[in-house]
Amino acid sequence: MLVLLAAIFLLHLTCIALLLAATIHNAWWMTDTLSTDIWGRWTLMQSGEWNFTEIPGHYPKEYLQAVQASSVLACIFCILGLFVFVAQLYTLPKGRRFLFTGAFQLLAWLCIMIAASIYTDIFHKDERFGWYGASFILAWISVCLTFISCITYSVLRKKTA
| In the chain, where the domains are located | 2-29+60-155
Mean pLDDT by 10 residues, the chain (161 residues): 87 96 91 89 85 85 95 97 92 85 96 95 86 94 96 83 54
Four-CA torsion 20, 12, 110, 128, nearest 10 degrees: 50
- pLDDT at residue 66, as a whole number: 96
Look at residue 160 in the predicted model and tell me its pLDDT: 63
39: Cβ contacts below 8 Å, ≥ 6 apart: 26, 55, 68
Kindly provide the residue ranges of all beta strands, DSSP E only, lying in the chain, ordered along the sequence. Answer: 29-30, 34-36, 41-44, 50-53, 131-132
Note the pTM of the prediction, 2 decimals: 0.90
- Domain 2-29+60-155 = CATH 2.60.40.10: no
Contact 13, 149 (CB under 8 A): no
**Strand-strand pairing, 41-44 and 131-132:** unpaired
Query: Cβ distance 98 to 85 under 8 Å?
Result: yes
For residues 51 and 94, give the distance between their C-alpha atoms in angstroms, rounded to a whole number: 55
